[in-house]
Amino acid sequence: MKRFLPTMLAASCLLAASAANAFTTYTCNGHDVKWSGNSKTLFAYLPDFPSGSSERNALIEAVARLNENSSPFVFNLVYTNTVPSLDNDRTEIWIDNIAWPGVTYTWWDNNCNNFTEKDIIMDSSVSWTSSANKYYQWSYDDPSDTIVAKRPMESTILHELGHALGLGHEADEYNIMGTDWNHMSTNGNAAYTYFGEDANHGARYLYGSDGTQDLGVVHWRRIGNNGEYSTHGRTRLLDPNTNTELPFTMVKGEPQYNVNRGQTVRMELTFENNGSAYQYEDVGYYVSTNSYISTGDRLLTSVSFGQSPANVYTRYQDVTVPSDLSCSKEYWLGAKIDKDNSLAEFAEWNNATYIPIKTNWNFSCLVLQPIIIQPLALN
Amino acid sequence: MQKFIPLLAGGLLLAAQAQAHHVLNNFDIGEMAQQADSVFRGTVVDVSYASSNPVKGQGAIPHTFVTFTVDEVLHGTAETDRDNTYTLRFIGGQNNKGVMWVDQLPKFNIGDEDILFVKGNGEAQCPLVECANGRFRIVDGMMHNEYGQAIVEDAKGRMTLGAVNERIKFAQHKIGKQTLQKRTHYVNGFDGKGNDVDIPRPEAAKVTMYDAGSFIANSHQQIHKKMPNDPLGVNKRAVNVNKTKAFELRMSKKAQ
């Protein structure tokens, strides 16, 4: 049998082009379908989201992340004891035992232009977490600890809110409308879900721009798709000569790359412009003694590049691991965008992220102490 | 003998480009069949709509009834009508107020030819194994999933998902008098200096796609391997639904 193998293109250039497909929307008889205005009340069923509960915390955070989007559209969250139901002309969210982790039911009118109702149901049988501590989340599950990592409810609600705003699933970009639970912005031990460049682009397409700006960098990237959903994996540390991934060890649930002091490595990170306008910004690349990257860390190099608000940008940067680092010790390479804080952003917490490394022990680690010979004192 | 048709996927430039950094997905036909009440090949001959009867706390909800002629049964039994038709009921559809739509659900048009892994018809909101993943589409004789991804063979000889046929992915879908269509929005690359640039086009990629015959033959093999003692699913039955019979949707504890 004659076989044909797919031809793959090596992404050899430093400026890697992303996929050309972006967000999806729906048309009805040729019209875009969306809400008629720029705000909608979202009724949350109080018994499912009681005050102080983790479910309410997740909902509040998800709505806040949605409302940060760079279009004028917002959801106004109202808690109610009115029992929710489908097709009651109210847009609602509640928790029930359903077949999917989350689902959004959409209604639009016979004029085929506007949504009339959206209902979001979250599955009660899923083990959810609302913690921003990364070790409580699936994506950072540390098998060596006793914490039971769970699916972050906030990210799944945010995915459903994307549907409620008018977006469809998207497989061709790193984005929240693909796989939601590893679409995270992480620095240190905190991992937050966020709406992201692609969904913000879609929101602006449907509702226009509100003029707000935001940049971000994450250690996640698109690695493929599962049906309509993009799938995401960690960004890597590569050998610049071969463009292949450097050897790593899984440490606390994360890949920790083994590097030599003085070695030049290629950092892969995903940059996003979540705002309304093109930005040309400085990015600092650092090495840190902990996983929280800040401008207080040791600067390795600084670069400037432009970012369109219309494409996710997984970018490569070569840096040299300093020769004076300690041997056999953990460090974190990282990047911080808008390091001089020159841009007013709707979110400042998503500007830095890390890639764990550990320096190898080799002969360069041997420090020869000079031998001092004392003259023998003769009496 | 299995027959594979080579296809130049490079004509789908955007899809092929996306594929260049895809991790292809494998799926287990035997496992899906084990979960199914029945697996059959059929052609859509009718799509109609009816609403559930109101129950306490929940009004009438539109549903879509998709009727197939059953051309071939691969596993289990589909309880067809006398005219060899079988009807699946999905939540969503139209009523006098407008359209109800669920993103996760498969969308059917009359004339669609499919291989379906049926589970829970008449009870589940989406009566297919893994919902839309339980539908394989035959378009121009070649196999695709619900989203237009070609079913291809990977280097280890496994069924997997390949490039997207955008003609399928973005096909128009009729709901009554309304024509719905998923719309993707394309973006250019950029050169890091603020200039949009054309993203480099990859060379045409050659992949091995499954046609319907080879897919069915392979499915028989996988089903037999998974269930060697009952590859036919002798005691498994997928119930039919009657489009004219009243039904209720008890989807919620809040609607009890």
The Cα–Cα gap between B207 and A3 comes to 8
Domains of chain A: 27-208 (3.40.390.10), 233-363 (2.60.40.10)
Tokens read off for B12 = 């789908």
Residue B50 lies in a domain: yes
A 10 A CB-CB count for B195 gives 11
**CB-based contact, A12 to chain B, within 8 Å:** no
Q: Which domain holds residue B144?
A: 4-232
Which of A20, A87, A225 is nearest residue B187 as measured by Cβ atoms?
A: A20
For residue A9, pLDDT beyond 50: no
Which of A2, A30, A106 is nearest residue B100 as measured by Cβ atoms?
A: A106
Confidence of residue A18 (pLDDT cuts 50, 70, 90): very low
Q: Residue A212: what are its φ and ψ, rounded to 5°?
A: -80, 160
**CB-based contact, B194 to chain A, within 8 Å:** yes
Confidence of residue A327 (pLDDT cuts 50, 70, 90): very high
At B254 the pLDDT is 58
For residue A5, pLDDT beyond 60: no
The Cα–Cα gap between A162 and B171 comes to 22
Residue B178 lies in a domain: yes
The Cα–Cα gap between A1 and A8 comes to 22
Confidence of residue A379 (pLDDT cuts 50, 70, 90): low
Interchain pair A225, B25: CB under 8 A:
yes
Residue B223 lies in a domain: yes
Mean pLDDT of A187-206: 96
For residue A46, pLDDT beyond 90: yes
- Between B205 and A188, the more confident residue is A188
Residue B206 lies in a domain: yes
Mutate to test the interface with A, among B2, B32, B184, B249 (most CBs of A within 10 A): B184
For residue A103, pLDDT beyond 50: yes
For residue A6, pLDDT beyond 60: no
Q: How many domains does chain B have?
A: 1
At B21 the pLDDT is 29
From A18-32, A177-191, A202-216, the region with the lowest mean pLDDT: A18-32
Interchain pair A15, B102: CB under 8 A:
no
At B156 the pLDDT is 76
At A7 the pLDDT is 32
Interchain pair B155, A224: CB under 8 A:
no
**CB-based contact, A105 to chain B, within 8 Å:** yes
Percent of chain A at pLDDT > 70 equals 91
Which of B97, B202, B253 is nearest residue A9 as measured by Cβ atoms?
A: B202
At B1 the pLDDT is 38
pLDDT tens, position by position, A134-144: 999 999 999 89
**Interface ipTM:** 0.81
For residue A335, pLDDT beyond 80: yes
Residue B242 lies in a domain: no
Residue B241 lies in a domain: no
Residue B252 lies in a domain: no
Cα of first residue to Cα of last residue in chain A, in angstroms, is 95
Q: What is the pLDDT along chain B (256 residues), one digit of tens a residue?
A: 344 443 333 333 323 222 222 334 667 899 999 999 999 999 999 999 999 998 887 889 999 999 999 999 999 999 999 999 999 999 999 988 889 989 889 999 999 999 999 999 999 999 999 999 999 999 999 999 998 889 998 777 788 888 777 777 767 888 888 888 888 887 765 544 444 444 444 444 556 899 999 999 999 999 999 999 999 999 999 999 998 898 988 765 555 4
For residue A264, pLDDT beyond 80: yes
Confidence of residue A281 (pLDDT cuts 50, 70, 90): confident
**Side-by-side strand order, sheet with B178-186:** A31-32, A21-28, B178-186, B173-175
For residue A369, pLDDT beyond 70: no
CATH number at residue B181: 2.40.50.120
